[in-house]
């Protein structure tokens, strides 16, 4: 879609199957498909009540979603033919649509870059363009140890402390932070599935709009 004057970009954080909250958020931002470009930052599925319905809603909205660590984990299990509870549950929930769903998420981008911003599920590896990093890191990084061995250690600084470019990076994945707003970095995971909020960033005005979760769907224990 060609961006024209008056077009808005709407970027939504981790939905995790929270379809009711997603619909409430789209209403609150007055989403207009003919005028707005809609992105999701990944982790559409799992933990919340409606993975399949949320996935089909995103398709219906013609939105682009990035790959989150939950989708990547699922794809890795499919590839390695290993079973796991997520794979079992998604096969059950998606039923005959599972194959198409799996083929589709395998094509989801790990990052999106425009002249104005970079979108990524978890974050950027310090000093690297996202095209130089692997998908595992881009979908899971929280903190930086200087090497990339440990990506989630609260004793280390967050990855975005090392990000000095002026281009805006919008990420999700780190619900425990409750959102981040800096000049060049915005974190949109405000923990909807954990009973907090689902948030969207509106560009170019750089406004964050949130709706409350209807309930706690999953306990937050410093996990992904």
43 part of the interface to Mn ion, by CB under 5 A: yes
46 part of the interface to Mn ion, by CB under 5 A: no
Q: How far, in Å, CA of 215 to CA of 7, rounded?
A: 33
Q: How far, in Å, CA of 213 to CA of 81, rounded?
A: 35
Q: How far is the CB of 27 from Mn ion (least distance, A)?
A: 25
- Quick one: 13 or 101, whose CB is closer to Mn ion? 13
135 part of the interface to Mn ion, by CB under 5 A: no
Pairing relationship of beta strands 197-203 and 207-212 according to DSSP bridges:
antiparallel
- Total interface residues for Mn ion by CB under 5 A: 5
Q: Which helix H or strand E contains 56, and what residues bound it?
A: helix 51-60
Q: Is-contact 143 157, C-beta < 8 A?
A: yes
- Quick one: 54 or 69, whose CB is closer to Mn ion? 69
Q: How far, in Å, CA of 190 to CA of 174, rounded?
A: 8
Q: How far, in Å, CA of 97 to CA of 63, rounded?
A: 19
- Residues 145 to 174 in contact with Mn ion, rule: CB under 5 A: 173
69 part of the interface to Mn ion, by CB under 5 A: yes
- Quick one: 69 or 190, whose CB is closer to Mn ion? 69
Q: How far is the CB of 224 from Mn ion (least distance, A)?
A: 5
Q: How far is the CB of 145 from Mn ion (least distance, A)?
A: 19
Closest residue (Cβ) to Mn ion? Answer: 173
Q: Which helix H or strand E contains 37, and what residues bound it?
A: strand 36-40
Return residues touching Mn ion (CB under 5 A): 43, 68-69, 173, 224
């Amino acid at each position: 879609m060609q961006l024209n004057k008056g077009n808005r970009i709407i970027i939504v954080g981790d939905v995790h199957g929270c379809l009711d909250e997603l619909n409430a958020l789209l209403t609150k931002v007055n989403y207009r498909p003919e005028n707005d470009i809609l992105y999701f930052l990944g982790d559409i599925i799992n933990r919340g009540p409606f993975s399949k319905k949320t996935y089909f809603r995103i398709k219906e909205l013609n939105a682009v979603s990035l790959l989150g660590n939950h989708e990547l984990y699922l794809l890795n299990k499919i590839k390695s033919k290993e079973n796991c509870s997520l794979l079992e549950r998604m096969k059950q929930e998606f039923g005959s649509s599972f194959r198409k769903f799996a083929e589709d998420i395998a094509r989801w981008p790990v990052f999106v870059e425009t002249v104005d911003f970079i979108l990524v599920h978890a974050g950027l590896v310090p000093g690297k363009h996202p095209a130089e990093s692997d998908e595992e890191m881009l979908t899971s990084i929280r903190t930086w140890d200087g090497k990339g061995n440990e990506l989630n250690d609260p004793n280390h600084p967050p990855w975005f402390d090392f990000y000095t470019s002026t281009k805006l990076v919008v990420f999700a994945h780190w619900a425990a932070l409750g959102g981040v707003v800096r000049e060049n970095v915005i974190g949109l995971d405000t923990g909807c599935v954990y009973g907090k909020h689902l948030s969207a960033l509106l560009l170019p005005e750089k406004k964050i709009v949130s709706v409350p979760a209807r309930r706690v769907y999953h306990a937050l224990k410093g996990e992904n």
